[in-house]
């Protein structure tokens, strides 16, 4: 009973007992339905439904009467009922590892625009970087979504392989999906990495340090690959260490690289670079005169750091937009579209310069 009253939106009704402008309930105290409209416009509910859904109606007089009644009664469709009848949820689920990582909100922004334009809602879930929890999260989401977008999923391939059984179209971003029937859109950070290395090599650096990201991450794999090939091409030496994806990681692991006597450091992302920069400040080492630093992502603060960070800019919003496009295609055609790789571009600011001496 309690529940039903809440459903009937008692709260605001109670707060304006008699004449309530904007009310969406009829005198029976329940929310307006197409039955109420049909009654008032003296047509069948079929006609109401057709008019309200913009389907062709011959009699414009009828249509007008319906629309008028709907407005007068303050009708707002019951979307749960509509979705139920249509057998859809109109909802797209997104799983991100960590909303607090500035990368993801930008992806979400691009995604949200497109998704709402396509008359869907976006259900965002933060997995807390927990690879174990992700499959459950996805399974749970599957029940209430028409499709799912997995942003840089941390779960292992074996977990990923269990997902098709859920029966929901899935798109992965920044992740290789093997032969799994998932849409797939990523950013070519290997190419971005090559640009970064080329830039440092041109400045004269011969020994570059790399503060690597989580070893299991696909984009980390791509970056390492770009690093290796570019290093070979330019004849520079590389010392890599596994750091992580946070500023704390960069702060903690930088000294190890310094010991190797590198003259430049590339970080897995801007957050890691920020940690490295902080450590360098503590060490009273100047950037870029004593050490060059390059980040990845180009998050908004990157341009405001001391010094402004040279970084590989990733098309985050575009990634979100393309992910929706891929999912949309899959929803329409039932087949997963082919893989897509978006370009990255180095943005040179002031944290890189020729090596000392």
Q: How far is the CB of 144 from DNA (least distance, A)?
A: 12
State which of residues 156, 178, 215, 300 lies at the interface with a second copy (CB under 8 A).
300
Distance CA 259, CA 282 (A): 16
- Region for residue 112 given its phi and psi (left: phi exceeds 0; alpha: psi -120 to 50; beta: otherwise): alpha
End-to-end CA separation in angstroms for the chain: 80
Site string for a second copy, 243-262 (x = CB under 8 A): ---xx---x-----------
Residue 182: CB atoms within 10 A of its CB come to 24
Site string for a second copy, 166-205 (x = CB under 8 A): xxxx-----------x------------------------
CA of residue 106 relative to chain centroid, distance: 7
Stretch that binds a second copy, among 36-44, 64-72, 78-86, 184-192 (CB under 8 A): 78-86
Residues 211-240 that bind a second copy (CB under 8 A): none
Stretch that binds DNA, among 85-93, 129-137, 156-164, 285-293 (CB under 7 A): 85-93
> What sign has the CA pseudo-torsion 188, 215, 309, 105?
positive
Residue 133 contacts DNA per CB under 7 A: no
Tokens of 82: 């509509």
Of 86, 81, 3, 84, whose CA–CA distance to 35 is shortest?
81
Residue 45 contacts a second copy per CB under 8 A: no
Choose between 43 and 160: whose C-beta lies nearer to DNA: 43
State which of residues 35, 44, 46, 80 lies at the interface with a second copy (CB under 8 A).
80
CB-side neighbour CA atoms (13 Å) of 85: 7
DSSP E strand boundaries for the chain: 91-96, 121-126, 147-151, 170-173, 183-187, 207-212, 237-242, 264-267, 292-297, 310-313, 340-342, 345-347
For tokens 């174990």, what's the residue?
132
Q: DSSP letter for 300, please.
A: G
Residues 247-286 that bind DNA (CB under 7 A): none
Stretch that binds DNA, among 37-45, 156-164, 194-202, 262-270 (CB under 7 A): 37-45
Beta bridge partner(s), residue 340:
185
State which of residues 17, 22, 54, 58 lies at the interface with DNA (CB under 7 A).
58
Residue 40 contacts DNA per CB under 7 A: no
Q: How far is the CB of 66 from DNA (least distance, A)?
A: 9
Residue 351 contacts a second copy per CB under 8 A: no
Residue 142 contacts a second copy per CB under 8 A: yes
Q: What H or E segment, with its residue span, contains residue 85?
A: helix 79-86
Choose between 24 and 49: whose C-beta lies nearer to a second copy: 24
Choose between 15 and 58: whose C-beta lies nearer to a second copy: 15
Choose between 2 and 261: whose C-beta lies nearer to DNA: 2
> What sign has the CA pseudo-torsion 223, 170, 138, 321?
positive
Q: How far is the CB of 281 from a second copy (least distance, A)?
A: 5
Query: Which residues of the shown chain bind DNA in the complex (CB under 7 A)?
Result: 3, 30-31, 33-35, 43-50, 52-53, 56-59, 62-63, 77-78, 81-82, 84-87
């Amino acid at each position: 009973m309690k529940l039903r009253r809440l459903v009937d939106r008692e709260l605001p009704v109670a707060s304006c007992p008699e004449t309530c402008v904007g009310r969406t309930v009829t005198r029976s105290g329940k929310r307006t339905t197409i039955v109420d409209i049909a009654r008032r416009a003296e047509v069948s509910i079929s006609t109401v439904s057709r008019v309200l859904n913009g389907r062709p109606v011959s009699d414009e007089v009828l249509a007008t009467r319906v629309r008028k009644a709907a407005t007068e009664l303050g009708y707002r469709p019951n979307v749960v009922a509509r979705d139920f009848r249509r057998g859809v949820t109109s909802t797209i689920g997104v799983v991100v590892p960590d909303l607090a990582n500035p990368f993801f909100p930008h992806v979400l922004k691009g995604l949200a625009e497109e998704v709402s334009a396509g008359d869907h809602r976006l259900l965002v879930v933060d997995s807390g970087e927990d690879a174990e929890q992700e499959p459950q999260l996805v399974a749970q989401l599957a029940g209430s979504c028409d499709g799912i977008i997995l942003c840089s999923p941390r779960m292992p391939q074996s977990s990923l392989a269990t997902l098709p059984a859920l029966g929901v179209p899935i798109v992965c971003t920044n992740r290789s999906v093997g032969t799994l029937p998932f849409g797939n859109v990523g950013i070519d950070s290997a190419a971005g990495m090559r640009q970064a290395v080329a830039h440092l090599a041109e400045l004269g650096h011969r020994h570059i340090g790399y503060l690597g990201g989580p070893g299991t991450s696909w984009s980390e794999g791509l970056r390492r690959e770009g690093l290796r090939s570019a290093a070979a091409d330019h004849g520079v030496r590389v010392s890599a260490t596994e750091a992580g994806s946070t500023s704390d990681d960069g702060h903690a692991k930088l000294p190890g690289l310094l010991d190797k006597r590198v003259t430049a450091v590339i970080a897995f992302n801007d957050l890691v670079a920020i940690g490295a920069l902080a450590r360098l400040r503590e060490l009273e080492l100047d950037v870029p005169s004593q050490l060059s630093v390059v980040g990845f992502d180009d998050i908004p603060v990157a341009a405001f750091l001391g010094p402004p960070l040279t970084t590989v800019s990733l098309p985050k919003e575009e990634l979100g937009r393309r992910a929706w496009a891929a999912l949309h295609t899959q929803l329409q055609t039932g087949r997963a579209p082919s893989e897509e790789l978006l370009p990255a571009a180095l943005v040179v600011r002031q944290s890189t310069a020729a090596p000392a001496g």
